[in-house]
């Protein structure tokens, strides 16, 4: 039997919200790394905290700027192919 649905809403308590953010961030980083390893995929993940501080995960051999440049080039290619 599976879990019941959980209503998603902002956590009002600041301390609980920060703890939850840290735990879920860790889980997302782990999943992104697993996806990269299992599927031989290039993965970039950018998470901004409520304070605006970025947490960045990219492949070790690529810089974040390179990945963003590739993404923008791909977006431009899609725009011109229509």
Average pLDDT over residues 13-35: 92
Alpha carbon of residue 59 to chain centroid: 13
32 within 8 A of 55, measured Cβ to Cβ: no
pLDDT at 58 over 80: no
Structure pTM? 0.65
> Would you state the structure tokens that stand for residue 70, as one six-digit string?
């590739």
Residues 34-52 pLDDT 10s: 998 999 988 888 888 888 8
Residue the block writes with tokens 């960045």: 56
46 within 8 A of 67, measured Cβ to Cβ: no
pLDDT at 63 over 70: no
d(CA 68, CA 81): 20
Sorted by where each starts, the structural domains of the chain and their CATH numbers stand as 14-81 (3.40.1810.10)
């Amino acid at each position: 039997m599976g879990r019941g649905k959980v209503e998603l809403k902002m956590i009002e308590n600041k301390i609980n919200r920060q703890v939850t953010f840290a735990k879920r961030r860790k889980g997302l980083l782990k999943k992104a790394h697993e996806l990269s390893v299992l599927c031989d995929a290039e993965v970039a993940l950018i998470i901004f905290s409520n304070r605006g501080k970025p947490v960045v995960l990219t492949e070790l051999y690529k810089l974040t700027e390179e990945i963003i440049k590739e993404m923008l080039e791909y977006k431009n290619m899609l725009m011109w192919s229509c």
